[in-house]
Amino acid sequence: MSTHRDVVSFVRRGERLSQGRQNAWDRLSPTYVIDPPRGHRDTLPADGTRLDLEEVFGRRAELVVEVGSGTGDNIVAAALDHPERDHLGVEVYLPGLAQTLSRVERSGSPSNLRMLPLDAQRALPALLPEGSIDQLWVYFADPWPKQRHHKRRLINPPFLDAVLPLLADGAVFRLATDWAQYAHHMRSQLDVRPELELLHPEGPRPEGTSSDAIPPNIESTGWAPRFEGRVKTGFENKGRAAGRLIWDLAYTRAARPSGPDGTSDVEAPTAQ
């Protein structure tokens, strides 16, 4: 009997760690890596598993989640710059997680950061309550440029159906890519969602020419300026070096319909 294989946006290749990364993993993962019981795949939590954010971080504060945090450039810098917030990086690639841990240690071991080594689309709605995320970041996700691979793109209905309910009212959803075709695809998926509103509806598209093909019907407005809180990673630098433009997007989570008592059906969490 064959097992159904879900379409995922990532491919897990060889994950052997160098000795230095293995040492960092052994030393730091018990503190920084959330390790819930696993389900039928090692990137899925077991049924019924939930995260208690107050227990994980030792407090309840504004929560920033980065999906595909890579080697931790952004999420570690954000945790250092904003000790009043809690930060959760979601990354399935073990070498990236180990390098993030090394970066955490070199930066002074901030206590407001945790890593989750699971499939974000399937794990986050299982582990987190609705309305618990105050900022969601997706930077330079794999564009899967070939037509036959478009179903693997992260920014597609299954992912949005999974994560948008987790955003608190007024939460900010930030994205960036160096591929114009993927930028256009993201707009086609995000602009139609009633839960989302563009933060910069009049924002112009990036200036200049690009080495990749820009769709002739790509939106001329609605683009965000570069987010100052985003560190320039190797992915962004590689895209710029190849002559591609950087496309930024920012949305806010629209308020949920009010319940019978006049309050939102899902209350946004408050920092303490």
| CA–CA separation, 47 and 226 (whole Å) | 39
The answer to whether position 131 is within a domain reads: yes
Q: Give the global pTM.
A: 0.90
| CA–CA separation, 111 and 104 (whole Å) | 10
**Four-residue CA torsion sign, 186, 12, 235, 85:** positive
142 is catalytic: yes
pLDDT given for residue 7 in this prediction? 62
The answer to whether position 97 is within a domain reads: yes
Binding residues for S-adenosyl-L-methionine: 66, 91, 119, 142
Q: What's the domain count of the chain?
A: 1
Looking at the DSSP assignment, which residues form a beta bridge with residue 204?
A: 221
pLDDT digits (tens, 9 = 90+) for 148-198: 868 889 999 999 999 999 999 999 999 999 999 999 999 999 999 999 999
The answer to whether position 99 is within a domain reads: yes
pLDDT given for residue 261 in this prediction? 61
Binding residues for substrate: 146, 178, 233-236
Nearest to 121 by CA among 223, 41, 13, 15: 41
Strand-by-strand arrangement of the 63-67 sheet: 113-116, 86-90, 63-67, 133-139, 167-177, 247-253, 196-198
The answer to whether position 60 is within a domain reads: yes
Query: Which candidate in 52, 81, 134, 142 is catalytic?
Result: 142
Binding residues: 66, 91, 119, 142, 146, 178, 233-236
The average confidence (pLDDT) of the chain is 91
Contact 227, 248 (CB under 8 A): yes
The answer to whether position 258 is within a domain reads: no
CATH (domain of 247): 3.40.50.150
The answer to whether position 113 is within a domain reads: yes
Confidence of residue 268 (pLDDT cuts 50, 70, 90): very low
The answer to whether position 260 is within a domain reads: no
* Domain span holding position 155: 19-253
pLDDT given for residue 21 in this prediction? 84
pLDDT digits (tens, 9 = 90+) for 95-146: 999 999 999 999 999 999 999 999 999 999 999 999 999 999 999 999 978 8
| CA–CA separation, 12 and 144 (whole Å) | 15
Strands (E), 91-240: 113-116, 133-139, 167-177, 196-198
